Amino acid sequence: MTGTPTAPPTAPATELEPFGVRLRRAMDIRGQLCVGIDPHASLLTAWGLNDDVAGLERFTMTVVEALAATTAVFKPQSAFFERFGSRGIAVLERAVIEARQAGALVLMDAKRGDIGSTMAAYAATYLDKDAPLFSDALTVSPFLGFESLRPALDAARISGAGVFVLALTSNPEGAEVQRATTSAGVSVAQVMLDHIAAENAGARPLGSVGAVIGATLARADADLAVNGPLLAPGIGAQGATPAGLPAVFGDAVANVVPSVSRDVLRHGPDPAALRRAAAGYADQVRLAVQAALPGRDT
């Protein structure tokens, strides 16, 4: 989306509207693009920065300051901050706060998944509104069983946050688990999608429980009508394109949140170049959705 979109209105931090409501508004105003914040050592080097905490902070805050006022969703990859220990986490905390203050939604890409009190602790870390790393949404792994996610689902509902559940990921080896079939002949991925749809039943205009569906898939071969957002990693460096989204997502393409990381980030450290790259991808996504759903105003 070209131009300078206005920041989507937000409820007070203590009374957040459901994530699905806030996400739908942000996508309608700012476009559907999600920009990943992945401070690879190679990207720091390409920006002329050292692979240390100072370089991490310069990289991260440049991205936030350049794009947070116009991007719908930021997706920081927690691992690239964790590798620097507590000082790296401090940079991540600052990035989350400043991105949200500028009107962007923050989707923490941490892919947490465990059982019982451990899952509850992960939920408290990212989905408790008073936590230092509170994010608008969190990626989670359901492969200990969907109900193992219940602490995160409950915490998200209380705080107005969302979760994105891994279903059909962009890595080729994911198929050995996700495409496996149950005794009823249904794929594991479809079981997860059915659970997500049940969680989102009756939500308007969009549920707060999303699925992660790789944009690199030739086709989903699954029912994606989950009444929730579909995070689509794999655009750019992994080979997927915005034009290919309708083939994977069909009628659900309007609810897709396509994620681009390296193909935007490599244009830094120039803030204007970062903005041009992100705007270009946002426009490509908008045109692809319009072509697939010509009656939809995007």
CA distance 293 to 298: 10
CA distance 222 to 165: 15
Catalytic residue among 40, 94, 98, 111: 111
CA distance 150 to 123: 10
Which residues, in sequence order, are bridge partners of residue 212?
166, 231
111 among known catalytic residues: yes
Task: For 230-250, give the DSSP string.
Answer: EEEEEESTTSB-GGGHHHHHG
φ, ψ (nearest 5 deg) of residue 111: 50, 50
CA distances from 193 to 10, 33, 208 (A): 29, 22, 13
Helix orientation angle between 53-67 and 271-292, rounded to the nearest 10 degrees? 50
Q: Which residues contact 164 (CB under 8 A, 6 or more apart)?
A: 107, 137, 138, 139, 140, 209, 210, 211, 212, 229, 231
Angle (CA) 191 196 198, round 5°: 95
CA distance 65 to 269: 11
Residues with a known catalytic role? 111
